[in-house]
């Protein structure tokens, strides 16, 4: 059972570069999320999606973009990377429900912007 798979696990970017963090899930979940975790902090919501073709902003969306063309995939795009985007990024998914089902998390991507 793969669950939620994130690639890459680690990446170093230079300021101004762009990249896409990949996230795929094989549980046929409708809801998918991107969070970032800064050192010593809890996770903060960047973007979320409630189904293919539907995305919306979370608490910290600036500097990021997402798309959801399929149920399985929810890539996160960083445009013009900045040092403030150095963080650990988590993708998560859950089934369509009223909220009592747990979110399944990927193993995270550690991203450094230098």
Least CB distance from residue 68 to other proteins, whole Å?
A: 12
- Tell me whether residue 75 is exposed, middle or buried, using C-beta atoms within 10 angstroms of its C-beta: 0 to 12, 13 to 18, 19 or more: middle
Q: Nearer Cβ to other proteins, position 17 or 22?
A: 22
103 binds other proteins (CB under 8 A): yes
98 binds other proteins (CB under 8 A): yes
- Judged by CB under 8 A, which of 24, 25, 48, 71 binds other proteins? 48
What's the Cα-to-Cα distance from 105 to each of 2, 16, 22, 52, 80, rounded to whole Å? 11, 28, 13, 19, 26
- Judged by CB under 8 A, which of 10, 15, 56, 84 binds other proteins? 56
């Amino acid at each position: 059972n793969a669950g939620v798979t994130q690639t890459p696990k680690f990446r170093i970017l230079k300021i101004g570069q762009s990249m896409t963090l990949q996230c795929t899930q094989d549980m046929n979940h409708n809801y998918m999320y991107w969070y970032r975790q800064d050192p010593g902090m809890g996770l903060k919501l960047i973007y979320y999606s409630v189904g293919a073709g539907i995305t919306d902003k979370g608490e910290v969306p600036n500097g990021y973009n997402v798309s959801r063309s399929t149920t399985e995939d929810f890539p996160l795009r960083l445009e013009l990377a900045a040092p403030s985007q150095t963080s650990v990024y988590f993708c998560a998914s859950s089934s369509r429900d009223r909220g009592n089902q747990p979110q399944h998390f990927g193993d995270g991507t550690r991203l450094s912007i230098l």
